[in-house]
Structure 1
Amino acid sequence: MGTQRSAQHLAVVITTMAAVLSCGCASVKAVDTAGSEPGAHATNYEVAITRKAVLPHPARRVFDYVAAEDVLPKVLTGYGPLPAVIGTSGNTGPWDTPGSARIVHLADGTALREAITHYAPPAEFAYRVWDFDHPIIRRLARHGRGEWTFTEADGSTHVTWTYTFTARGAVAVVPLSAVVGWLWRGYMQACLDNVLYHMATAPTAPRNP
């Protein structure tokens, strides 16, 4: 049984490496979660992608803009078959408080849930997403997490944004890697481009209460 599982794991790793090399963007790792919680899968496969940008603004201003409660429709404007965000609803608490959750509504009528997991201005914040309605993502990913870091240097801010999806089993790793490496990469880049544009044209950045 162990040998069979090792062979299956090796096949997934090799195939996934080929997919990653072909798209040059996403990275994959297997995470052993056996015994971590009731009902946990023995092995989770995570597919991650990181995008970076340098914005000519102080870190606190960039953080406040990106982490603002109302920012999503301004910056997540869609990419290819991935729809834009049109709004949010059902907040369970202030958006600067870890544990607060909400529903994110997309332009194609689908939705997902999002919760803040870490909030430490002006350096970093993180969130978790799950309950995907989108037909592509829901078939490939169980949930995801986003992590932003902000480092100020010489009057500008270096932004690093990493998105990590947990695949729906080994068979979903390769197609999820392709989606993340091509479509989600473009989705994230469009977001960063929108942040840069709006911060350059807005007289002041939105701030969390």
Structure 2
Amino acid sequence: MSLDVKDKTQVRLVFMGAAGVGKTALIHRFLQDTFEPKHRRTVEELHSKDYEIAGVKVTVEIMDTSGSYPFPAMRKLSIQNGDAFALVYAIDDAESVEVVKSLRDEILEIKQDKFTPVVVIGNKADLDECRRVPAADVLSTVELDWSNTFLEASAKENKNVVEVFRELLQQANLPSRLSPALRRRRETFPKDTSFRPPMNKTNSCTVS
């Protein structure tokens, strides 16, 4: 008797946040180990990858949503279909934290479940000299008031990116045996050798 259908596990991770905070950059760093410094506007993209761990097939879907949210119906559908949510802000953009707060309210309203997995990510941690959002303030709100998880990350420097996805997957109640797949992800995903970020790029606080 085949257990393929029973053993197949699927989870959808949804990345949300204001425009330009680095949602796509975090996803591309995880999937392809690449970093594109130029911001490109995202409408909506769904990435999907199958892992097989100890005989269990696991499909991880990663939804990259638009930061400008021109279509409320699309946003609502993304929330309805999501299993765990990454709410991303940029540490050099105080307004992007307010967007995270309103998105969390909307997720809880649509899901009607205060235990919906939410991970709040302060991206662009490499721009510490430009910081406008104290980590301690967000940590207090997210972990004490909301009982959610908070991490700071840098897609540019590949800091805490794997940890972000590991936390999302753990909160989505995937089998614990999935965790080795995270460590092996760069063996299973093709490495993009055509692009290398410029080594002489310096941090800048100017808004272009």
Superposition TM-score, scaled by structure 1 size: 0.29
Relative to its length, the structure with more strand (as a share) is 1
Q: Which has the larger radius of gyration?
A: 1
Superposition TM-score, scaled by structure 2 size: 0.29
Relative to its length, the structure with more helix (as a share) is 2
